[in-house]
A and B are shown apart, each in its own frame.
Chain A
Amino acid sequence: MMGRGDNLARLSRVLSKSYFVVQRPDIPYLLEGPDLLASQTGRLLAIFLPKAREYEDWRRLAARLILSRLALPANTTTLLVIPTDRPSNAVDQETIGLFSAATDNRELSRAVDKTLVEQRKPVPAHVRGWALERASFLTALARRPETGNRLVGQARPLAVSPHADFPLTPPDLWRFGLPQGAVVERYQRAYIAFPRGKGSVASVINPYSSALVNSTFSVIGEAIEIASPELGAIYLQDRRGHIVTSRESRGTALAGWALLDDRLPPSLAADLLNSWLARLS
């Protein structure tokens, strides 16, 4: 079985004959993005190879895809590559349908050309606008929590209808794959989470990001919509002395979480988060 790194290198070689190719692109607003970007004038293709934990839980791959589509231009098409050494049912059909196209290693070139010319559904402007507005607010709140009220006032009333069919009670975030033992409190439509764990900040936050993304957005095929406007704050535990980087803050914010600390107590954070959401109405 070829490792992911070998597969990526091989895919890069095939694509670089016709495209500008970036392996493991470092995108400022993503903690985990696509595995490859292939670019030509007027065309951008994001390519995904499922990771081990994504084979175990498809919601993780769906969240990585949704966040990548929000953080990349509207004209980006997406391609899922399933290595040939995986069984044919390694990925369920519903997940495959979230991408512009899916293929295995052997048919890559043909699949890339076909994907780039076929119709696809871009992320609607109002969904992108809301997600980026929320990310901007959460990033700024993490950087300057003392300006919370002013940041709420800067939120633009957006084109998300107050009469949209959002559930009065947000769905249970636990249904979307929070880790066992996770401590998460809910205040109306805002969550406050206290994740623990060793490992990188990105790895500790990933299940919380995945859960909130899958709770907030609905996807049918390539069509993305806002299912339930929500957001939250994360207070990392057991990280004394860790200085949150801008990248960690931005990547977490796009998923709907502000990375906060004791400069802003959780109860005040919850009020600010709900006040920001109230701007929708």
Chain B
Amino acid sequence: MAYRRRVDALKALVISAMSAADATAVNDEFERVCQSGMIRLRPRRWLLEVIHSCRALDTGLQTYVHQETGRVVHSIGGALAEARDHGIHGNFLPIPSFHTHNAAVARVRNYYMHQAGAFPTTASEVERLLDDMNSCLHEVLVL
């Protein structure tokens, strides 16, 4: 229930920040995160929660950066670097935030997306990663 409130808050931001079509694509992934929570087998559930959250974050960041700056970025790290170096609406992603999000989100995301057999091992690890992803997307959307 607590995660639902966090997801819905992000969905509200996404709806207001993007076109209807783009917002639907991102928010559908957030819904799949919530739906993944009903899978019984925990490693599989956790991995799907991470993957769908990554997809929401990836697409959300790339779409928003391109929409607001005209620049094309192809990764979470690229979107964060763009926000750090060139800014959005005259505001720049602070350097400590870039390092925090890059370490907590981009690198971890790459590990689970590319490493065969990799699964999150605890619910708290998943909770922390989802929280990091949500705060990453939120911070860029409010620049």
Instruction: Return A188 CB to nearest CB of chain B, in Å.
Output: 22
Pick the interface stretch among B54-62, B89-97, B113-121.
B89-97
> Looking across the interface, which residue of chain A has its beta carbon closest to that of B22?
A41
Instruction: Return B141 CB to nearest CB of chain A, in Å.
Output: 6
> Which residue of the partner chain, among B19, B94, B135, B141, contacts A250 with CB atoms under 8 Å?
B135
Q: A41-B20, A132-B94, A137-B94 are in contact. Are A26 and B12 (CB under 8 A)?
A: no
A44, B16: Cβ atoms closer than 8 Å: yes
Query: B5, B9, B90: which has the most chain A beta carbons within 10 Å?
Result: B9
CA distance A140 to B31 in the complex (A): 30
- For A, the interface residue count at a CB cutoff of 8 angstroms equals 40
Contacts of A41 in B (CB 8 A): 15-16, 18-20, 23
> Which residue of the partner chain, among B19, B20, B23, B134, contacts A28 with CB atoms under 8 Å?
B134
CB of B28 within 8 A of chain A? no
Contacts of A139 in B (CB 8 A): 96-97, 100
A73, B9: Cβ atoms closer than 8 Å: no
Contacts of B131 in A (CB 8 A): 28, 246-247
A129, B142: Cβ atoms closer than 8 Å: no
B9, A27: Cβ atoms closer than 8 Å: yes
CA distance A143 to B101 in the complex (A): 13
- For B, the interface residue count at a CB cutoff of 8 angstroms equals 35
CA distance A155 to B16 in the complex (A): 30
Contacts of A71 in B (CB 8 A): 138, 142
Q: 8 Å CB contacts to A: which residues of B1-31? A: 2, 5-6, 8-9, 11-13, 15-20, 23
Instruction: Return B125 CB to nearest CB of chain A, in Å.
Output: 13
> Looking across the interface, which residue of chain B has its beta carbon closest to that of A42?
B16
Produce 1/0 per residue, B80-92, CB < 8 A to A. 0000000001111
Contacts of A154 in B (CB 8 A): 94-96
Contacts of B72 in A (CB 8 A): none
CA distance A193 to B10 in the complex (A): 32
A25, B90: Cβ atoms closer than 8 Å: no
Q: A22-B8, A139-B100, A246-B128 are in contact. Are A73 and B91 (CB under 8 A)?
A: no
Produce 1/0 per residue, A72-103, CB < 8 A to B. 11111000000000000000000000000000
A27, B143: Cβ atoms closer than 8 Å: no
Query: B2, B12, B128: which has the most chain A beta carbons within 10 Å?
Result: B12
B12, A37: Cβ atoms closer than 8 Å: yes
> Which residue of the partner chain, among B5, B12, B19, B139, contacts A44 with CB atoms under 8 Å?
B12
Contacts of A72 in B (CB 8 A): 13, 142
CB of A40 within 8 A of chain B? yes
Q: A26-B6, A28-B134, A246-B132 are in contact. Are A20 and B96 (CB under 8 A)?
A: no
A73, B13: Cβ atoms closer than 8 Å: yes
Q: Can you identify 27 A-B contacts, CB atoms within 8 angstroms?
A: A22-B9, A24-B5, A25-B5, A25-B8, A25-B12, A27-B9, A28-B6, A28-B134, A37-B12, A38-B12, A40-B15, A40-B16, A41-B16, A41-B18, A41-B20, A74-B142, A75-B16, A76-B16, A125-B91, A128-B91, A132-B91, A132-B94, A132-B142, A133-B94, A136-B96, A154-B94, A247-B131
* A binding-site residues for B, Cβ under 8 Å: 20, 22-29, 37-44, 71-76, 125, 128-129, 132-133, 136-137, 139-140, 143, 151, 154-156, 246-247, 250
* B binding-site residues for A, Cβ under 8 Å: 2, 5-6, 8-9, 11-13, 15-20, 23, 89-92, 94-97, 99-100, 128, 131-132, 134-135, 138-139, 141-143
